[in-house]
Structure 1
Amino acid sequence: MALISLNDVSLAYGHVPLLDRVQLALEPGERMGIVGRNGTGKSSLLRILAGLERPDDGEIQRQLDLRSSYVPQEPALNDDESVFDAVCGGLDDVRRLCQRYLEHAPGADLDALQNEIEALDGWRWEQRVQETLSRLSLRPQTRIASLSGGVRKRVALARALVALPNLLLLDEPTNHLDMDAIDWLAELLQAFRGAVVVISHDRDFLDRVTTRIVELDRGQLWNYPGNFSEFQRLKDERLAQEAVVNAKADKLLAQEEVWIRKGVEARRTRAQARIERLKVLRTQRRQRREAVGLARMEVNRGDAGGKLVAELEQVSKHFGAGEQRQTVVDRFSATILRGDKVGLIGPNGAGKTTLLKLMLGLLPPDEGTVRIGQRLEVAYFDQMRHQLDLDATLEDFISPGSEWIEIGNRRTHVKSYLGDFLFSPARAQSPVRSLSGGERNRLLLARLFARPANMLVLDEPTNDLDIETLELLEQLLADFEGAVFLVSHDRRFLDNVVTSTIVYEGEGRWREYEGGVEDWVQQSMRLHGRAPAWHPVVEAQVNRAPSATARSTPPTAPPSTATSRSRRKLSYKEQRELEALPARIEALETEQKAIDAALADGTLYGTDPARAAELVARHSEIEAALLQAWERWEALSTAS
């Protein structure tokens, strides 16, 4: 029997229905992901499932023993409480039952109370809280006011888990979590015995957690079995079928409109049925809700600037003094050039923002030297949205004092520009505070891209953005000719954008790796023989082949201290050789695998021994060539 069933449920704000007579059944043990564009009503649907919001129409059926816990996007916690007290808040009902039993409350059925408490494992409530805090690495006496966004999210999850729910409802749980915490959460949900419903735009997270994807699209729910990758394949098929059906309906409507305009023939009595059918076709066409279009993003590219963006030599940064001194950056060296797309990866509190400020020249180093390129025009995206003026209208926020925006050689009216980011002209005079979280992020991106820039600095730009907008942003950043610094915990977004990653390796040490997250994991495994120190890597990722991108490169051995301190510039010929080596190594490995497959079952030795001997010899040649290529790549990469 389903835990929750929605039958013909409807919900509307204004004239557009968010839910239009939808059906949904959630089975025990299911892990359902809800996806859809920003503003389509995903959070409202989750609140209806949690019993916190009532639909306008329809029926909701719940199992009698259903215990659900709901974790919103922004957890509502009391800043004055301790972590222990905040988590205990998830057991208020259990604690009240225990208190009534112990006080022998007048008129209470003690036997019934005892059964209810035991069914909820109520006598162990304090032990359960301590176990949960320990499992989530939370300190009981820490004040809520002192916690970061990621730790507050952990507290909210702990509060939900101690109630022993058989249904867990999570709204954007990965926002503000670092990669370590996202991995932890994915493993927790995989092991959770109850059902899970999660709203998320983190594609890798959805792939690892979900067993079904439900898409909310134009007021309807579309069900797709499997994880997010399977959803993408099935959705493409559905949209193609929908386009064919709509095209046929539009063609029939056009034919009938031509016929009705003939007038005399249409007024004959025997044509009345055809006229009625035309009315139905017109009604169906009016009621059809077209798919929401894609945003159109374009960066206002400024002066190209010089080739060099930043050069850091043995840079260190410390905070505090004496025993309280903390090293945030320890002897870090890097060269960033125009066109580089650099990802910064590290746990919350590691010092990513400090390192970013050092590379931008906004913070002086305590040791080492920083050289900043000429004519840099920086556009900065702030994850905390401090740049937002909530009382300004959308139009004034984008272009204060002017109705026009100039992007390159093109002059665009601000309403048209807002339309490129999916804001209708009617909303141009709406206040910023009326926007949802995803819409606010989209508005910040609109303002960011309207400013001339040859360098983009994006601090967690993916929070709250829907998947279609994420994919468009990925393409825009990949095509951007200037430099990009990207702080993000969305591994698929990083993999699709960055050409190198700077990774925190503990105690102020940072190291640059070629490629994205997948490449870093592979290189770290080969460098150290283990997963990165602070980042528990899922085995499937370790065994996955490295991505073959233009800048993805093979793993290297760690350079010696002397080498890293005396790095030299490569010649033009050496630089071209270094860039060509990954493709050569990949081609050799591909050929080697093909030979292995041809020789695998041994039949070739009997049917064509000469060919088999030729392949064996070629296999040995490839092995030697691969070894030489690896050594050459190591020598060039450590010298560059």
Structure 2
Amino acid sequence: MSLYTITGAQLAFGHVALLDHADFSLEAGERVGLIGRNGAGKSSLLKIVADLTKPDDGLVTRQQSLTTVYVPQEPEFDTDMSVFDAVAAGLTDARALLDEYDTVAHALAETPEGAEHDALLARMNTLQSSLDATDAWSWRTRVSTTLAQIGLDGEARVGALSGGMQKRVALARALVVQPDVLLLDEPTNHLDFDGIRWLEELLISQRAGLLFITHDRAFLDRVATRIVELDRGRLLSYPGNFSAYQTRKAQQLEVERIENEKADKLLAQEEVWIRKGVEARRTRSVGRIARLVQMRNERAERRNSLGNVKLDVGQGEKSGKIVAELTDVSKGYGARTVIDHFSATVMRGDKIGFIGPNGAGKTTLLKLILGELTPDEGKVRIGTNLQVAYFDQMRAQLDLDKSLGDTISPGSEWVEVNGTKKHVMSYLGDFLFAPERARSPVKSLSGGERNRLLLARLFARPANVLVLDEPTNDLDIPTLELLEELLTDYDGTVLLVSHDRAFLDNVATSVIASEDEGKWREYVGGFTDWQIQRERSLKLAQSEAPKEPAKDVAAKDSGAGRNAQRSVKLSFKEQRELESLPQQIAALEAEQKTIGAELEDGSIFAKDAQEGTRLTERYAAIDDELLVALERWEELEAKRK
């Protein structure tokens, strides 16, 4: 039986149907990723499941005594609270029962036998049963255990924590309740890469049914066992992770396009027939006329796919060939060094991603590259003719009281992009803002819409250096993919800070990563390339850790020249390994295909949720094993040649 079911749900905002006879269910052990365009109604659906709001119509059923916990996108805390108290706030009901139990126990001790005594005794027995059922007696132990599991200091003050650590506090407050259903709205916001990986592992290990909204495609691939898309008021379910969804969605849209083209063609033929002369009207079929009316109605009611954002960045004049050159640069704050003797050259056309935990110094390094900060040591040479445009993750550049039109083009109704004049309403339409919203204040926009507006403002100005600080927050996936395409084709230089791993992979040509204690290093490629190179470097460093005696090393070096030709050949063991790898890869691919078929329809979660979870984890593990096997095969093949 499903934990939670919605049947025929309807929800409208103004004239827009967010839910249009939508159906949804959540099984025990399922991890469902909810995706859709900004403003489609995802957060509204999450609040319906959390019982914070009701649909306009439709049937909602849930299992009896179902515990549901909702973690909003921006959790709110009393900043003076300790972390322990903030997490314990999730157990408010249990603690209230304990307080009442103590009160009743004291009253019972002071009440002589009689009707009142019996009533107090009955209430005490009821409270004891409730406390036993919810394990409320050990609430302090539960809080301490959850804090240890999530890596939080219970004595710390919430207001002193970073955004990422406050997100952990919110998750701890939810998990201490031990919910049957966990609802998360953009759980990766404010988390760095280590925090995101930690959250992935935590959610995969949970037994609760999970429904979450995120635009992080790598997170969806790792965590989700099913994707549900909110598309034009309908909820469409796709078994498997985000990669499986992309394949099926493309097929579905193609089928929908063909069916719509056929319907439109038939409608056009019928419209021609109905307008023919007297002879045709004499033989007109009543049934055929009725069908034409029905076809017209169906065409009118069809909700076409929402158009995509049209992105075009204003190209400034070319900058100098060298954008910035850093030589032995160091920068610190007080006793802490955030940049320690770092050297790099940023060339025109480079697309550089900055990787590091929150507080590592990514913004400081960016400001050094742009000449906005002076280093404590070393030299920074800034290139010529730089036209810099900023995208600020805190959206500080937006005046909340200004209209959308004035934000894009203050005091004018026209904007110029790449030498072409465009009316501001038409330009806003390219970013999916309806003409009537051009005069709305910025404060009326959602987080994703504000990000879109900031992109519209950024791209309206000519620039040859784009500085993007967390541009992907709150953007829907189609807009993300379009932004990736635009930045890939952009001729200028891009300096990018993002925790979206897929975005970094698709845009960055190199990354500059924090190596701890102020050390930074540049790697060729995107996020995945950095991970692979970093792991190899760590393994190499570990294998070289036990140093050999100096004379042995010298002896080895003296023989290196003589045996150079022999050293590139495969040993017998390596030859056997190379021969076995194709079979190993084929076996892994076959196993993954079999598991994929079992997970495809989602029924495994209804039959055996634990087995469904195990298969999902195995499916993801095979990806890692395949990558290792393929890399080893390439390595041995290259060595043989």
TM-score, normalised with respect to structure 1? 0.82
Distance 2:282 2:36 in 1: 48
The counterpart of 1:449, out of the listed 459, 468, 477, is 459
1:586 equivalent in structure 2? none
Distance 1:5 1:351 in 2: 46
Change (3 A) 1:181 1:265: farther
1:439 paired to 2:449? yes
Distance 1:288 1:446 in 2: 30
Runs of 4+ in 1 over 4 A off after TM superposition: 105-108, 263-270, 595-601, 619-622
Aligned-partner SS, 1:141: coil
Amino acid at match of 2:93: D
Cα distance, 1:7 vs structure 2: 0.9
Distance 2:638 2:153 in 1: 55
Q: Does the aligned pair in 2 maintain the 1:266–1:275 contact within 8 Å?
A: no
Cα distance, 1:509 vs structure 2: 0.8
Taking the TM superposition and a 5 Å limit, the aligned residue runs for 1:471-550 are 471-529=481-539
Taking the TM superposition and a 5 Å limit, the aligned residue runs for 1:230-249 are 230-249=244-263
Cα distance, 1:82 vs structure 2: 2.1
Aligned-partner SS, 2:327: strand
Deviates more, 1:196-205 or 1:71-80: 71-80
Aligned-partner SS, 1:262: coil
Change (3 A) 1:2 1:259: same
1:25 equivalent in structure 2? 25
Change (3 A) 1:125 1:525: same
The counterpart of 1:317, out of the listed 311, 325, 331, is 331
Alignment RMSD (CA, Å):
2.4
Distance 1:61 1:295 in 2: 37
1:390 paired to 2:400? yes
Structure 1 residues 116-174: Cα deviation after superposition (integer angstroms, max 9, x where no partner): 21221211111111121122222223222222221121111111011110110000101
Taking the TM superposition and a 5 Å limit, the aligned residue runs for 1:291-440 are 291-320=305-334, 325-440=335-450
Deviates more, 1:166-175 or 1:419-428: 419-428
Amino acid at match of 1:230: A
1:85 paired to 2:85? yes
Deviates more, 1:83-92 or 1:305-314: 83-92
1:152 equivalent in structure 2? 166
Change (3 A) 1:57 1:530: farther
1:459 paired to 2:472? no
2:560 equivalent in structure 1? none
Distance 2:402 2:149 in 1: 44
Equivalent pairs, count: 547
Amino acid at match of 2:491: E
1:623 paired to 2:639? yes
Amino acid at match of 2:639: E
Change (3 A) 1:197 1:408: same
Q: Does the aligned pair in 2 maintain the 1:6–1:23 contact within 8 Å?
A: yes
Cα distance, 1:109 vs structure 2: 2.6
Change (3 A) 1:518 1:318: same
Structure 1 residues 81-106: Cα deviation after superposition (integer angstroms, max 9, x where no partner): 22222111111001111111222176
Distance 1:16 1:84 in 2: 43
1:142 equivalent in structure 2? 156
Unaligned runs of 5+ in 2: 106-118, 546-573, 584-634
Distance 1:227 1:53 in 2: 29
Q: Does the aligned pair in 2 maintain the 1:30–1:196 contact within 8 Å?
A: yes
Cα distance, 1:500 vs structure 2: 0.7
Cα distance, 1:410 vs structure 2: 1.1
Structure 1 residues 315-366: Cα deviation after superposition (integer angstroms, max 9, x where no partner): 111111xxxx111111111010001010000011111111111111101000
1:537 equivalent in structure 2? none
Aligned-partner SS, 1:116: helix
2:13 equivalent in structure 1? 13
Q: Does the aligned pair in 1 maintain the 2:200–2:222 contact within 8 Å?
A: yes
Distance 1:445 1:291 in 2: 22
Amino acid at match of 1:25: S
Aligned-partner SS, 2:374: coil
Taking the TM superposition and a 5 Å limit, the aligned residue runs for 1:50-199 are 50-104=50-104, 107=120, 109-199=123-213
Cα distance, 1:206 vs structure 2: 0.4
Amino acid at match of 1:27: E
1:571 equivalent in structure 2? none
Cα distance, 1:531 vs structure 2: 11
Q: Does the aligned pair in 2 maintain the 1:524–1:530 contact within 8 Å?
A: no
Query: Identity over aligned residues, as a percent?
Result: 60
Aligned-partner SS, 2:101: helix
Deviates more, 1:127-136 or 1:203-212: 127-136
Q: Does the aligned pair in 1 maintain the 2:510–2:525 contact within 8 Å?
A: yes
Amino acid at match of 2:472: T
Distance 2:84 2:447 in 1: 29
Cα distance, 1:266 vs structure 2: 6.8
Distance 1:31 1:222 in 2: 15
Q: Does the aligned pair in 2 maintain the 1:524–1:531 contact within 8 Å?
A: no
Deviates more, 1:244-253 or 1:436-445: 244-253
Distance 2:7 2:76 in 1: 31
Taking the TM superposition and a 5 Å limit, the aligned residue runs for 1:222-261 are 222-261=236-275
Q: Does the aligned pair in 1 maintain the 2:578–2:636 contact within 8 Å?
A: no
Aligned-partner SS, 2:411: coil
Distance 2:238 2:197 in 1: 24
Cα distance, 1:240 vs structure 2: 0.9
Q: Does the aligned pair in 2 maintain the 1:525–1:531 contact within 8 Å?
A: no
Aligned-partner SS, 2:254: helix
Amino acid at match of 2:45: L
Cα distance, 1:65 vs structure 2: 2.2
Unaligned runs of 5+ in 1: 533-556, 558-591, 602-618, 626-640
Q: Does the aligned pair in 2 maintain the 1:34–1:215 contact within 8 Å?
A: yes
2:610 equivalent in structure 1? none
Distance 1:366 1:390 in 2: 37
Distance 2:281 2:126 in 1: 75
Larger RCO (alpha carbons 8 Å, 6+ apart): 2
Aligned-partner SS, 2:187: coil
1:636 equivalent in structure 2? none
Distance 1:268 1:66 in 2: 65
1:562 equivalent in structure 2? none
Q: Does the aligned pair in 2 maintain the 1:212–1:223 contact within 8 Å?
A: yes
Change (3 A) 1:185 1:270: same
Distance 1:489 1:327 in 2: 23
Amino acid at match of 1:136: I
Aligned-partner SS, 2:323: strand
Change (3 A) 1:205 1:371: same
Cα distance, 1:600 vs structure 2: 7.0
Amino acid at match of 1:93: D
Distance 2:579 2:456 in 1: 51
